[in-house]
Amino acid sequence: MKGPIGVGTGLRSVQARRLRESRNLASLGRRVWRSRGGLIGGSIVIVALCAAAIGPYLLPVDPIEVDLGNRLAPPFWQAQGSAVHPLGTDHLGRDVLARLLHGSRISMMVGLVTVVVAGSLGVSLGLVSGYFGGTLDAVIMRAADVQQAFPFLALAITVVAVLGPSTRNIIIILGVGGWVLFARVTRAEVLRAREEVYVEAAGSIGASNVRIVVRHIMPNIASPIIVLASFAFSLMVVSESALSFIGLGVQPPTPSWGSMLYDARNYLEAAWWLPSFPGLAIMFLVLGVNIFGDWLRDYLDPRMRVL
94: number of Cβ within 10 Å = 23
Q: Which of residues 13-42 bind other proteins (CB under 8 A)?
A: none
291: number of Cβ within 10 Å = 21
248 binds other proteins (CB under 8 A): yes
Residue among 107 and 220 whose Cβ is closer to other proteins:
107
Residue among 32 and 282 whose Cβ is closer to other proteins:
282
Which three-class secondary structure state does DSSP give residue 89? strand
Please report the sign of the dihedral spanned by the C-alpha atoms of residue 24, residue 26, residue 32, residue 34: negative
- Work out which of 104, 241, 256, 259 binds other proteins, going by CB under 8 A: 241
Residue among 212 and 282 whose Cβ is closer to other proteins:
282
Residue pair 131/190 in contact by the 8 Å Cβ criterion = yes
The closest of 305, 303, 299, 285 to 42, measured between CA atoms, is 285
154 binds other proteins (CB under 8 A): yes
In the chain the beta strands, taken as DSSP E runs, fall at none
Q: How far is the CB of 275 from other proteins (least distance, A)?
A: 5
147 binds other proteins (CB under 8 A): yes
Residue pair 275/265 in contact by the 8 Å Cβ criterion = yes
53 binds other proteins (CB under 8 A): no
Residue among 22 and 107 whose Cβ is closer to other proteins:
107
Amino acid at 235: L
208 binds other proteins (CB under 8 A): no
Residue among 157 and 218 whose Cβ is closer to other proteins:
157
Q: How far is the CB of 291 from other proteins (least distance, A)?
A: 7
59 binds other proteins (CB under 8 A): no
Binding segment (CB under 8 A) for other proteins, from list 51-59, 97-105, 216-224, 286-294: 286-294
Please report the sign of the dihedral spanned by the C-alpha atoms of residue 33, residue 105, residue 287, residue 224: positive
Q: Which of residues 84-143 bind other proteins (CB under 8 A)?
A: 142-143
DSSP assignments along 20-48, one per residue: HHHHSHHHHHHHHHH-HHHHHHHHHHHHH
The closest of 124, 119, 238 to 170, measured between CA atoms, is 238
Residue pair 244/165 in contact by the 8 Å Cβ criterion = no
Q: How far is the CB of 91 from other proteins (least distance, A)?
A: 16
307 binds other proteins (CB under 8 A): yes
Q: How far is the CB of 239 from other proteins (least distance, A)?
A: 9
Instruction: Give backbone dihedrals phi and psi of 258, rounded to 5 degrees, phi first.
Output: -70, -40
Give the binding site for other proteins (CB under 8 A): 142-143, 145-155, 157-163, 234, 238, 241-242, 245-248, 261, 264-265, 268-269, 272, 275-276, 279, 282-283, 286-287, 290-291, 294, 305-307
